[in-house]
Amino acid sequence: MSKFIGRDKELKQLTEITQKKAASFIVVRGRRRIGKSRLIEEFSKHFDNFYAFVGLAPDKAVTGKHQLEEFSRQIAQQFKTPHARYDDWSDALWAVAERVQKGKTLLFFDEISWMGSQDPTFLGKIKNLWDQHLKKNDQLVFIVCGSASAWIEKNILSSKGFVGRISFTLTLEELPLSDCNLFWPKNISSYEKLKVLAVTGGIPKYLEEINPKVSAEENIKRLCFTNGAILVEEFSQIFSDLFLRDSPFYKKIVETLISGPKEREEIGRILRIGSAGGRLSEYLQELELAGFITRDHTWKIASGADSKLRKYRLSDNYIRFYLKYIDKNLSKINRNSFHFKSLTSLAEWDTIMGFQFENLVLNNRPLIHKALNIQADEIISENPFYQHKTARTPGCQIDYLIQTKFGSLYVCEIKFSKSAINGSVIQEVQKKIDNLKRPKGYSCRPVLIHVNGVTNHVIEEEYFASIIDVSRFFSS
């Protein structure tokens, strides 16, 4: 088993729950490969007994009967008992319950959506398992987990049957840059790490596949442009396993976002779906819950309240890289005839790298707040900010805007460049500030977030309230 890296905050949250004098029912969700199962294994070290069950991966040939049969086999494996066949989930779950009545026990159902999606009575029987058996052991923690976040949201978290029963819901996000840093030895430049992270994001499983002894380009060539490599095969598995239905519509939606954030109506126009298309809203929500896209809300600066203007952003770096570069060359990759030279040789790489770098920064907002000495309770709102062009108001798009209760607006420009950023960035940011519609009495503090340095001219101008080099986050 690979070394466990990061997740200190999440482990602390889980551990604190075990200190209460009552059984706990916990839901853990998050994107495929985000490290849910690995986190629970690490958490299990706090228990005398750990029993883990996992559903069979979705497949057209896998039926509800197959899921129950597999669960029955796992009962024998976990409890070291003779294999018994169960014809009903109630009997199988009771067989588990009678073996966890006492002691400090962690019971883990992994990929619960796979287990029960084909049986309409399954979740009702899970509820009965908890009510009639599990909660009677005040030293027991019951965790259900899954990558199909939309299924979990609909069938467990928003279900009346589970109201008042869930002790805690933990949604795993990408690892922060300071934890990503631990996958490399010392003396590797931040720029090289960022090139890899532009492809993988902070996804633990992808980072585990890195060979730190070779360059970023060599790693990307091996992982992304070699027949049978993990990041070549991953996409098709993601879109079948996570949404529990085979639909090309998910892919079409994320493809519209490769070139930048878009409003729902704009996505609908591109896909030729009317503004009232309920199906689009459903798919957008599922992609958002899965962690692949993010809905960025704009707000009214005067009140701090969310406005109706919001855009969907492709926030998963791997998905964008796959669709932009791997998918289009898949046939050549599978024939071992695609020749990868370098990232910079890829079409439009500078633009794509800008989006990927922006995602990495936005996924590490607490580090930006810390660098700016902003406390969480001081923030009224913070997000990428958009302002529509009207007859009286110019359009405006700010990479990241932070509004504090002290009347400060931190206008953050997230800039990726292969070389030091020159003075033209000052005019770019000032134009955005000039166009930003805001009430009187608000101060705008420009912030530059970069990775490969700035010219002396930018520093000497003293225009920016803060210049943040993302390299520092790798050791935060």
Q: For tokens 């591109």, what's the residue?
A: 270
Residue 144 main-chain phi, psi, to 5 deg: -110, 145
177-348: which CATH topology?
Answer: Arc Repressor Mutant, subunit A (1.10.10)
Residue 109's DSSP bridge partners are 53, 144
Q: How far is CA 175 from CA 86, 224, 363, 432, 461, in A?
A: 40, 21, 9, 31, 35
> What angle do the packed helices 64-79 and 89-97 form, to 10 degrees?
20
364-475: which CATH topology?
Answer: Trna Endonuclease; Chain: A, domain 1 (3.40.1350)
Question: Is there a shared CATH topology between the 8-172 domain and the 364-475 domain?
Answer: no
Residue pLDDT, tens place only, 93-127 = 999 999 999 999 999 999 999 998 889 999 999 99
Instruction: Give residue 277's pLDDT.
Output: 60
Q: Domain segments of the chain: what residues?
A: 8-172, 177-348, 364-475
**Which residues lie below 8 Å from residue 341, measured CB to CB, with a gap of 6+?**
none
8-172: which CATH topology?
Answer: Rossmann fold (3.40.50)
How would DSSP label each residue in 63-102?
A: -HHHHHHHHHHHHHHHHT------SSHHHHHHHHHTTSSS
Instruction: Give residue 2's pLDDT.
Output: 72
Residue pLDDT, tens place only, 212-267 = 999 999 999 999 999 999 999 999 888 776 776 667 889 999 999 999 999 999 99
Q: How far is CA 13 from CA 36, 58, 167, 204, 468, in A?
A: 14, 31, 12, 19, 30
Instruction: Give residue 245's pLDDT.
Output: 65
CB atoms closer than 10 angstroms to residue 180: 26
DSSP conformation class of 470: G
Q: What is the pTM of this model?
A: 0.93
Instruction: Give residue 299's pLDDT.
Output: 96
Instruction: Give residue 1's pLDDT.
Output: 62
Q: Which of the residues in the chain have pLDDT under 50? A: 276
Q: Which residue intervals of 117-215 are DSSP H helices?
A: 122-132, 149-152, 177-180, 190-200, 204-208
Tokens of 455: 């010219």
User: What sign does the dihedral 254-258-262-265 (CA atoms) show?
Assistant: negative
Of 84, 140, 92, the closest CA to residue 115 belongs to 92
Residue 259 main-chain phi, psi, to 5 deg: -90, 5
Do residues 181 and 474 make contact, with C-beta atoms less than 8 angstroms apart?
yes
Return the ∠ at Cα 428 (arms to 254 and 358), rounded to 5°. Answer: 30
Residue 206 main-chain phi, psi, to 5 deg: -65, -40
